[in-house]
Every structure is written in C-alpha cells, then in structure tokens.
Structure 1
Amino acid sequence: MENKKQGVLLVNLGTPDAATPQAVKAFLSEFLHDHRVVDMTRWLWCPLLHGVILPIRAPKVAKLYQSVWMAEGSPLMVYSQRQRQALEQSLNIPVELGMTYGSPSLKTGIQALQERGVDDILVLPLYPQYSGTTTAAVSDGLLKAFKGYAHLPQYRLLTDYHDHPLYIKALAETVRKSWEENGRGDYLLCSYHGIPKRYADNGDIYPKHCERTTQLLAKELGLNDQQIGHTYQSRFGREEWLQPYTDKTLEKLPGQGIKKLDILTPAFASDCLETLEEISEECQEIFIEAGGSTFQYIPCLNDSEEHVALMSDLVTRQLSV
C-alpha cells in the first residue's frame, strides 16, 4: 500500500476578522446560525437573531474585542497561529489552521494541507471536553467542507482529551507557575464554558468531562473540595444552563471566607474574549465588589511548551509520525 503523507488540521471555534461591529456581526451570524449552538426553530430564531440580537450585540461585543485586541490581531487567532507553528516544528509534518466559524475556514485549512501534498489528515479540535456544540459542530463542518469532492482524503477526528495525563499536567503547571509568581490564593476556581442544561439532559456528555477534568486536576495539585471548585460561564438567553454559574459563585465566595481567588479556564485552549474580558475583567469586578481582595486569572495553555507537548502526543498516538 502506498504511504500517505500525513498532516494535522488544528481547529478552534473562530473569531471576528476585526474588532468592528460589521466583522463581529458577520462572525456572530455564522456562529449563532449553527443548529448545534442554538437549536431553536429557524422561523422563530432567525428573525430574532437578525432583527434584535445582532443589531444590539454586535456594537457592544466589538467594543469588548477592542479592549483585548492584540497588535497581531484577535487573541484567539494569534495564539492559534503560534500553536500551529510550534506544533509543526515539533512534529515536522504539515499543520494548518481551520476554524469552525470565520476564517480560515475548515475548507481553507483542508485545501492548504492538500496543497502541501497531505492526503491523511488528523483533525485536532482544541476542545479538551467533548460537546455537541463544539466537537460535533466540527464534524458537521468537515462534511460540508468535503461536499463536492470527487475523492475524499483519509481523515480522522479526535473527539476529546479531557483526561489525558499531559493535559492535566499542563493545567497543573500553569497553576503552579501562577502560585510561584503571584502567591497562592485561598481557592482555585475552574470555570468552564457553559451550555444549556437541556443539551446535557438530552445526552451531551460535556459536564461529565468537565467534572472529570476538575477531579484529576485536584488530585494532581493535591487539593481537596474546600480548596478547588467548578463552575460554568458565558450563559446566554433565559433558559437554564449548566450550574453552578461562575458569576453567581463569585458573588458568594467572599462571604464564605474566600478573599484571595485563583481562577482557571480549562475548557479554553487559547485565551480569547471569554477569558481575557469576561473572566479577567468582568468576573474580577464581581468578586472584588462582593468583598474579595485578590483575584488572579491564570492564563490558558496557549503556546506553552507543556501544551505543545500535549498536542504532539495526541497527534503521534493517532499518526505514525
């Protein structure tokens, strides 16, 4: 059998191309049109999305992006590009980026790999914990990207790595580094991106993966239930989402004697609006106003050596490189 040339498609959610209302509106429109993300009946959802939500939210979200935008662009894109470069150097095989929404698209990433002679693709979504709203959306996007192909390349999709030893060790290392540099807080809070509770009730295993990650991190750091906690952030709309909620928890912690807080976002592989603005700024304000004294945000794994080592291991276990 002829040996196929192997490569990696590194996938993340995506980001607006610019910190402008127009760019944010275009990105949110694509993102919120996905039935995996919002499963409301289209004839109800689309008029609401385009007539009310996007006109109101796009300018507000654009201002938030402006507050975290880096010289090279959106934080998520900057860190994703650095991850791609570092992983390619580590593996010495082609690695390209593809975003579920926005650019570069999944199709663009696949085409870039094919132009480099790759015909055996490992798709690596940077979602440690599986969810139908993220990993399954990547699978849907791949099928759309391959539509019309006369000859499909060989590909496989890595679905999660929530309990991978190197992932847990990488998270623990970021916490230890923060403790060394900034001192240790009274409590470590792990804040995960939320999903509607109804999705989990209907079979999405995401919360189980999140809980397992927190358990393994606690064990790795030697923390008990009084020293580490687990919440969900970024809820949207009026229905119930996974609980406990991050913001509501932050309001209560100072009253429970926790004045110095360390907060980590294990579900995010790259720092982005939800970590740099929502957690580092909004949540810090909530905690301090509730009586907290010190709020230390611990950055995502980003392009750290430990993260690159994890990604390399995930790839080499799947491909014969």
Structure 2
Amino acid sequence: MTLATPADPEAAKALAPLQAGASSKTGRIGVMLVNLGTPDGTDFKPMWRYLREFLSDPRVIELNKAIWYPILYGLVLTTRPKKSGANYARIWNREKNESPLRTFTRAQGQKLASALGDLPNVVVDWAMRYGNPSTESVARRLVEQGCDRILSFPLYPQYSATTTATANDQLFRALMKIRRAPAIRSVPPYYDEPVYIEALAQSIERHLANLDFEPEVVITSYHGIPKPYSDKGDPYRSHCLETTRLLRAKLGWDEKKLITTFQSRFGAQEWLQPYTDKTVEKLGKDGVKSIAIVNPGFSVDCIETLDEIGREAAETFHHAGGENFAHIPCLNDSAEGMAVIEAMVRRELSGWV
C-alpha cells in the first residue's frame, strides 16, 4: 500500500506516521465467520445473559418493547433459563466446556484458514451474533491485525431479517465505535448455490447409506419464523422451499419422499407451517414406520438440531407409532461443508485478492 505525499508540508508531516506503518498496520483482509450464538454455560446466569441478549433483539422479537419487555423480564427470563440450560446440558461439549455450535464454528474457522493458506494477506476469524466471542471483539481484533477490509460471512444459507440482517446490523454497530473502520462485504444467502445443494445431497446420501433401514419420508426441517414476518416480506420461506426443491431434484426424489417443515416456534402467534413436531406426529399415526430429518437451514449442529430434533422429534415419532428415526447431521466442518464455505469466500473475495 502506497500513500501519496501531499504538497502541504504540515499535511505531509501528519501523514508520515501513516506512511511508515502502512505496510505493517494495514492492507490485510479479514474473513469473519458469524454464527447465531451460544451461552457460556448451562447454569442459570449464563443462560439468562444469553437469552436476554437474544430475545431483546428487535429483529427477533418485533413486538413493541412496552409490551414485550414486561413479558421478557417478568416471565420468560425467570423460567426459560433453567429449562434451556437443562436442554443444553444434554448436548454440552464437556471436554471443551462449550456448546457444539461453538466447537463446530471454531473448527470451520480453523479449517478455512488452512484452506486459504495460498492467500497470505487473509486473516480468518469467527464470531457470534449473541454471546462470545462477540462480533465487536472479533471486528476489533481483525482491525488491530491490520485488516482494512473485512468479508463477513453470516452462516445462514437462507436469508431472514432475524438472522442474516441482524448479524450485519451487529457488525456495523461495532464499526460505529472504530475510528478507522474497514471496508465491508457480506456473503449473500447461498440457499440455491450449486455447491451448497451438492454438499447437502452428498451428506444425505452418505448418512442414509449407513443406516440399517430406508426412510419412507425424509424431512427438511428449517427453523421457523413468525408468519407475520413472512407476510411483511421476509423471503425466508421462499428460500427454504427453493432449497428443498433443488435438493429434491438433485437426489431424484419426489414430493412425497422429501418434504419441508418448520420447527422451533416460540410464543402464541402463528409461525410458518407445516410444523415439524406436528408433521412427525402425524406421520407416525398414519402408519409411517421410518423417517429421517435433515436441517438444511443450520450450518452446524446446535441445540435446535441435536436436542429438539435428535431427542424431542424422535420421541414424538416413536410415541406416535413410528419405529425407525434418524437425524442427519448438519454439514458442520465436514469436507462437504467446508467446500461450501471455501467456495463462497473465494468468490466474494474476488477483486480484493
């Protein structure tokens, strides 16, 4: 990087320190993988902190604060931390004392850094929208390492204001506190990218080949959003349906073999349907004996996939009369998953490297 010397002697004097440090303090490119977030522990206090940050986000809960905050602080945050903590405890990575989401996201960052070894000017890091490591702390760390450009990668294949948009919001809030803010790019949704569809298909076929039964129905279960959000223009539902359509075509399956549902609803209002739990129950009651569920909307396995699907959905299916149940893991840091991340990052770095 070369800085032109101004004709004004005073300006030249002021610019001299920048010229001297330009080669070592700037000119690098940061790549920040951003996932949803995770509590720091399963006890009440860390769960309370995490849920407060998450459920205080106006992108997630669009209710007026005057209505929502009394409910949040008076009811939700007095009861939900204990229940959620118990759920997290079942899937907790006790070796590293952290959630699987943090474990997998770290692994993705490490493997991406290795894959981009031919780009010595690129620094890879990872952050959380809620919890730690925070988006702000990682943004500052990248800037301190000389990154004057940052490529942010919200790890959500399908766009929603509740995920991709709020991840970008948080990054720009962090930049408001940095005097020398870097240039920013954000990886767009990749719900229909051929490399992503290919990775999902390969992962599904590989895992199904290792089962001792053949599922009659495979469910693509996506995290839901309130229906009013979709009605107001959030494209999330259409992105999910398109992912399933492309995946169905790639696998050569029909609409009865691969279906779409939505999970993780919260509160009393209507969410996107059909609901995963209701669908699983109905399949069991209708005589379907073998199913599998995959979560294409999650980049890594987490509480919603490992516990809500791996435990709760399995119990629901068995109680309804089903016999064989399988949860197909997320792409995580698998070879297929890393192929998607690397391909998207290399494409979006075009012109910078």
TM-score (norm 1): 0.97
1:113 counterpart residue number: 142
Amino acid at match of 2:70: P
1:281 counterpart residue number: 311
1:35 counterpart residue number: 58
Percent identity over paired residues: 44
Indicate the SS of the match to 1:97: strand
Q: Distance in 2 between matches of 1:178 and 1:78?
A: 21
User: Equivalences for 1:1-321 in 2 at 5 Å?
Assistant: 4-70=27-93, 71-72=95-96, 73-92=98-117, 93-182=122-211, 183-320=213-350, 321=353
Q: Distance in 1 between matches of 2:334 and 2:99?
A: 18
Instruction: Write the deviation string for residues 115-174 of structure 1: whole angstroms up to 9, x where unpaired.
Output: 322211110000000000001101211121011322220111123100111111111111
The alpha carbon displacement at 1:255 in A equals 3.5
The alpha carbon displacement at 1:113 in A equals 1.4
Q: Distance in 1 between matches of 2:327 and 2:33?
A: 26
2:22 counterpart residue number: none
Amino acid at match of 2:160: S
The alpha carbon displacement at 1:198 in A equals 0.2
Q: Distance in 1 between matches of 2:145 and 2:335?
A: 26
| Paired residues, number | 321
Q: Distance in 1 between matches of 2:124 and 2:288?
A: 44
Indicate the SS of the match to 1:195: coil
Indicate the SS of the match to 1:14: strand
CA RMSD between the two structures: 1.2
Contact 2:28 2:123 (C-alpha < 8 Å) held by counterparts:
no
Indicate the SS of the match to 2:39: coil
Instruction: Write the deviation string for residues 74-118 of structure 1: whole angstroms up to 9, x where unpaired.
Output: 100000000000011001231111111111111111122123222
Instruction: Write the deviation string for residues 268-292 of structure 1: whole angstroms up to 9, x where unpaired.
Output: 1011110110000000000111111
Amino acid at match of 1:167: Y
Q: Distance in 1 between matches of 2:252 and 2:39?
A: 39
Indicate the SS of the match to 1:162: coil
Q: Distance in 1 between matches of 2:114 and 2:214?
A: 34
Unpaired segments of 5 or more residues in structure 2?
A: 3-25
Unpaired segments of 5 or more residues in structure 1?
A: none
Q: Distance in 2 between matches of 1:172 and 1:258?
A: 23
Mean Cα deviation higher: 293-302 or 170-179: 170-179
2:15 counterpart residue number: none
Amino acid at match of 2:277: D
Amino acid at match of 1:163: D
Which structure: larger Rg?
A: 2
Amino acid at match of 2:248: A
The alpha carbon displacement at 1:184 in A equals 2.5
Q: Distance in 2 between matches of 1:218 and 1:101?
A: 33
Contact 2:187 2:345 (C-alpha < 8 Å) held by counterparts:
no
Indicate the SS of the match to 2:54: helix
Indicate the SS of the match to 2:130: coil
Q: Distance in 2 between matches of 1:54 and 1:95?
A: 35
The alpha carbon displacement at 1:179 in A equals 1.3
Q: Distance in 2 between matches of 1:244 and 1:98?
A: 32
